[in-house]
Amino acid sequence: MKLGIDIMGGDYAPLVPLQGTLMALEHLPHDVTLVLYGDEQAIHNFVADNPTLKSRIEVVPTTEVITMTDSPALAFNQKPNSSIVVGFKQLKQGIIQGFASAGSTGAMMVGAMQIIKAIEGIMRPCIGSTIPRPDGSQALIADVGLNPDCKPDVLYQYAIISSKYAQFILGIENPRVALLNIGSEPEKGNLLAKAAYDMMLNSKDFNFVGNVEGYDIFKNKADVIITDGFVGNIILKMAEGFYGLLKKRNMVDEYFAKFNFENYGGTPILGINKTVIIGHGSSTPKAIMNMILHTYKVVNAELVEKLKEAF
């Protein structure tokens, strides 16, 4: 298996991605090779100081970088030799089986949608994020930002996609799927929520358990929580902000420590033809390591192939 890593992605590139790569290799099987895209000299200098890397990486030199301030769509045409563009092209060609970057989220989305594209039958891919719960379990919430405006049938597909992720990545057999709403009753909510509820009710494609409210997210009422990207993104960033507030006030709590993004590394784009993981721009070596390990887990579980079968 070959996994592609954008060494030029993130606020502290290329050093931090290289450090994370070294850490990840300590946990990956020996038949996994990491293909590094970026500054050839920087990579070789790092390898010289860490010779154990040499036998387990391949280097694909690139001379351009898509920055956070670049227009993602324009940059794909204007910077064809950037680490992100070259990585996506090799992913499409099958040279690598998964691609991960902590670089420009916009550029990663352009690559995912224009080069890799959605699985046939899927109207819109989504982004899922795991939510830790006090009892030690995890829930998946989707979408968390890719599509702020959705139709009921799109939410229905999110439920199928996310249910497969929960089953094969989180290891939850027959995951319970719920719809996020302002009340648990079927008649509650806006037009989208009501229509989506009617479509999901009695579905044979997933295990629908009804509506859940905001305070249910941290309870063990559902394994998958479905919403549109507008609401999902607000929930995700509020959770991140709450964790940051506790950290700033020097409040230490074992449960809230699980909200540290470093522990998850990256977020998968679900519903496209290849495995793509987007990391946080301010990723630390630990976050990069977990981003790479997450990429391996999704590829190894053959999630894309299972979604293709489902659709």
Q: Checking DSSP bridges between strand 266-270 and strand 126-132, what pairing results, if any?
A: antiparallel
What confidence score (pLDDT) does residue 225 get? 97
Same-domain pairing of 4 and 109: yes
CA 77 to chain centroid, in Å, comes to 25
- Find the mean pLDDT for residues 207-217: 95
- Find the mean pLDDT for residues 170-186: 95
C-beta separation of 164 from 271 below 8 A: no
Same-domain pairing of 96 and 221: no
pLDDT in tens, 222-237: 999 999 999 999 998 8
In a domain, residue 214? The reply is: yes
Same-domain pairing of 232 and 182: yes
Same-domain pairing of 251 and 138: yes
State the first-to-last Cα distance of the chain, in angstroms, to the nearest integer: 25
Same-domain pairing of 131 and 211: yes
In a domain, residue 30? The reply is: yes
pLDDT at 88 over 90: yes
In a domain, residue 265? The reply is: no
Same-domain pairing of 8 and 111: yes
Same-domain pairing of 99 and 170: no
- Find the mean pLDDT for residues 98-118: 94
Same-domain pairing of 135 and 256: yes
In a domain, residue 46? The reply is: yes
In a domain, residue 180? The reply is: yes
In a domain, residue 266? The reply is: no
pLDDT at 311 over 90: no
> How many domains, in total, are found in the chain?
2
Q: In Å, what is the CA distance from 97 to each residue of 90, 188, 280, 299?
A: 9, 43, 21, 7
Q: Domain range holding 228?
A: 125-260
Q: Compute the distance between CA of residue 258 and CA of residue 279 in angstroms, rounded to an integer.
A: 17
pLDDT at 263 over 90: no
Single residue among 224, 239, 260 that ends a domain in this structure: 260
Same-domain pairing of 35 and 149: no
What confidence score (pLDDT) does residue 254 get? 85
Same-domain pairing of 11 and 45: yes
The CATH number given to whatever domain includes residue 219 is 3.40.718.10
Rg (CA), the chain: 19
C-beta separation of 9 from 84 below 8 A: yes
C-beta separation of 274 from 95 below 8 A: no
Same-domain pairing of 204 and 228: yes
100 CB-near residues (< 8 Å, 6+ apart): 3, 4, 5, 6, 266, 276, 277, 278, 279, 291, 292, 294, 295
Mean of the per-residue pLDDT values of the chain:
93
In a domain, residue 206? The reply is: yes
In a domain, residue 290? The reply is: yes
- Find the mean pLDDT for residues 78-98: 97
Same-domain pairing of 197 and 76: no
From the list 221, 294, 239, 301, the residue with the least C-alpha distance to 263 is 294
pLDDT at 213 over 90: yes
